[in-house]
Amino acid sequence: MSKKLYVVGVGPGTEKYLTNYSIDIIRKSHYIIGYKYTLNTIEHILDRSFNNIFEITMKTQEQVYLNVFNDLMKDGDICTVPFTGDVNFSESEVVDRLLDLFGDENVEIVPGVSSIQVASAKSRVPLDKAAIISFHVTGDIEDKKISLVKSVVDNKSVILVPRPWPSDKLKNFMPSEISSFLKEKGVDTTKIDVWVFENLANNKKENTYKGKLNSLEGKTFSDLSVMVIDQNKRQTYLEF
Ligand SMILES: C[S@@+](CC[C@H](N)C(=O)[O-])C[C@H]1O[C@@H](n2cnc3c(N)ncnc32)[C@H](O)[C@@H]1O
């Protein structure tokens, strides 16, 4: 018996994209460690008389993971770390740390529905016909910016999560900066369609913006946004 960790995607925004498999895992978990936004999504299935719940921030997470793994868990105990959307998209900085701590053989990664998938569905831009980019990383994004330009110049659609950086605006790479950046690189931003989806799947706050890429300059969007640069050309089987 070992200490078991489930890394679980719990759907963006609300519980409606939560899978039954994730619900079963959460219900049987002795320990649940998550960010406030993610814990809110699963609040309705938490049982505080059974689940020991730890709310973390970026600053406290390492200490809490170590405390739960080293001091609190016994062999056979189950811990779950829920992530927003799909664990396999734009979460690797934390997931890789958890794999190191618990050991690969003791971790099951459970996929969820990503905000990227919801944006794909709403914009009708299929994932397989788009470049998917996360700028929501701590490290350097210069290579990702080059891929972005290349995809746009190659007439591909792009579905991306921008980079909010509240404590240092120079590190922001939000829709406004993305639009200006592409213009600087010679892209005619007046011609390209764009969507920005804010607070997806949140009935009270969800908002969809649609316009040309240049119209994003100077506009502010929520940190919880997905942007779709839409150059999609529909093509059915009747054409082949
Ligand atoms: C660290 S990434 C995590 C992505 C997540 N794993 C997923 O699959 O959706 C965080 C970013 O995802 C996007 N995001 C997450 N939930 C969202 C939502 N409900 N609506 C819009 N964007 C969302 C935002 O761009 C947010 O800053």
Task: Supply the pLDDT for residue 166.
Answer: 83
**17 pLDDT above the threshold of 80:** yes
84 lines ligand 1 (CB under 6 A): yes
90 CB within 6 A, ligand 1: yes
Fold of 4-110: Cobalt-precorrin-4 Transmethylase; domain 1 (3.40.1010)
CB 197 less than 6 A from any atom of ligand 1: yes
Q: What is the pTM of this model?
A: 0.95
Task: CATH 3.30.950.10 in the chain: give the residue spans.
Answer: 115-230
- Minimum-distance ligand 1 atom for the alpha carbon of 88: 6
Q: Read off the pLDDT of residues 21-49 as tens digits, 9 standing for 90 and up.
A: 999 999 999 999 999 999 999 999 999 99
Looking at the chain, the whole-number percentage of residues with pLDDT higher than 90 is 92
Contact 106, 3 (CB under 8 A): yes
Task: State the angle between helix axes of 142-153 and 175-184 in degrees (0 to 180), rounded to the nearest 10.
Answer: 70
**CATH 3.40.1010.10: which residues of the chain?**
4-110
d(CA 90, ligand 1 centre) in Å: 8
For residue 83, how far is its CA from the centre of ligand 1 (angstroms)?
Answer: 10
Q: Tell me the mean pLDDT in the region 59-85.
A: 97
What number does CATH give the domain 115-230?
Answer: 3.30.950.10
The rounded Å distance from CA 36 to ligand 1 centre is 14
The pLDDT tens digits of the residues spanning 168-226 come to 888 999 999 999 999 999 999 999 999 999 999 988 899 999 999 999 999 999 999 99
Mean pLDDT of 235-239: 96
* pLDDT score, position 187: 98
